[in-house]
Amino acid sequence: MPAAPGSDHAEPLSLDFCGLHFASPIVLLSGCVGFGEEYTRVEGFSNRDAGAIVLKGTTLEPRLGNPPHRLCETPMGMLNAIGLQNPGIARVVGEILPTLDFTETRFIANVSGSTVEEYAEVTRRFDDSPIDAIEINISCPNVKEGGVAFGNYPGMSAQVVAACRKVTTKPLITKLSPNQTDIRENARCCIEAGSDALSVMNTVMGMAIDTRTRRPVLGNVQGGLSGPAIKPVALLKVLQVHEVAKPHGVPIIGQGGIRSATDAIEFLIAGATAVGVGTALFYDPLVCRKINAGIAEYLQTQGLHHVGELVGSLRTGADETDLASPG
C-alpha cells in the first residue's frame, strides 16, 4: 500500500514521530513497563508490538517513593501514588540503558524533578546517551514554590521546557497535566519554549477511602487516576491541544483509558499522531497486538492506506456521512 502524504514508510501502521520511525502508533506509557525490560518476561510479548516504550520516571538522585499503599483499584480505573521510585540517573544511563535492544523499538526517557535545575541536569545526562527521545513529566511539585506542580501553570511549564531545550538536541515531548485551568494555553507555552511534541494527558488526581478504618487507602492520600474512567476527559483534552499544536506541526501522543482498537482510533481521529497504552497492560499484557490488528482492519474497511489519514479527521458537520463502526 502507498504511504500517506508526508510519510517515509509504506507500512500502514508505521509513522514518523519527531524524525523517529515508529513501527506502530502504540506507545507504552511511563510507569507501566518499568525500564523496558519487565514485559520481555511475558510469553508472547514483543517490543515490536509498540512503536516506542517510555521508561519509568527518572530523577537526579535515587528515590524510594511513597509509603504503601501505592495502588488502588477503582471502578473502571486505578489510582497510583508510586512517588517516582527509581534508581537515579547515573544508574539508569550507566547500567540500564546498555541492556536495552534499540533495534527492536524506540526508547523514550521520562524526566522528573523538584526544581528546574534538576530537570535540566537529568535531561543533559540523557542527552549523552543512546535514548531516542525525552519526555518531560511536568506534573511534579516544585519544592521552591511550596509544592505547586509545574504542569498546572503555563509559565512554570515553559520554564522547565526551555531549560531542558538548552541542554539537548533530542526530541522533547512534554507530558501535559489535565489538572489545570486551560490545557490549550499550557500547550501553546510549551511549544513556544521548544517542545517538539506533546503527551496528552497525564493522570487525573483522585483518592479512595477505606470505610472500615475511615482512612485514605493510599499512603500518600491522593494519587493519579488512570484507566477507562478518564477516557472521555482525555479525548477532549487531545482535541483541544490538537487545535493549538496542528498549526505548528507538533505531534501528540494521546492517552487515557485506551484498551481496544476502537479506543485508539477515537484518539487518532481527535488529533493524536500516536496513542499511549498503560493501565490496560496490567490485565492484558498482549493488548498491543490486538489494538494493532484492529486499527489495520479499520483502515482496510474504510479504504484508507495509512494510519496518518485518521489523525485529526473528526467530522463535526451534521450532513457528513457517518463512519462505519470499527467493531
For the segment 5-28, what is each residue's pLDDT rounded down to a tens digit?
334 445 999 999 999 999 999 999
- What pLDDT digit, counting tens, does each position of 254-266 carry? 999 999 999 999 9
Mean pLDDT of 208-219: 98
Mean pLDDT of 33-58: 84
Q: Which of 300, 310, 313 is nearest to 1 (CA)?
A: 300
Q: State yes or no: pLDDT of 284 exceeds 80.
A: yes
Confidence of residue 319 (pLDDT cuts 50, 70, 90): low
Confidence of residue 289 (pLDDT cuts 50, 70, 90): very high
Known active-site residue 72:
no
Looking at 18, 32, 140, 190, which residue is catalytic? 140
Position 181: which residue type? T
Work out the percent of the chain whose per-residue pLDDT is above 90: 83
Q: Which of 77, 68, 104, 72 is nearest to 278 (CA)?
A: 77
Helices (H), the chain: 89-91, 116-127, 154-165, 183-193, 231-245, 261-270, 280-283, 287-301
Mean pLDDT of 195-224: 96
Confidence of residue 113 (pLDDT cuts 50, 70, 90): very high
Dist CA 172 CA 194 (whole Å): 8
Residue 236, classified by CB atoms within 10 Å of its CB into exposed (0-12), middle (13-18) or buried (19+), is middle
- What pLDDT digit, counting tens, does each position of 137-151 carry? 998 877 677 667 899
Domain locations in the chain? 15-66+85-208+225-310
Homologous superfamily of 15-66+85-208+225-310: Aldolase class I (3.20.20.70)
Dist CA 192 CA 186 (whole Å): 10
Mean pLDDT of 183-201: 98
Q: State yes or no: pLDDT of 217 exceeds 90.
A: yes
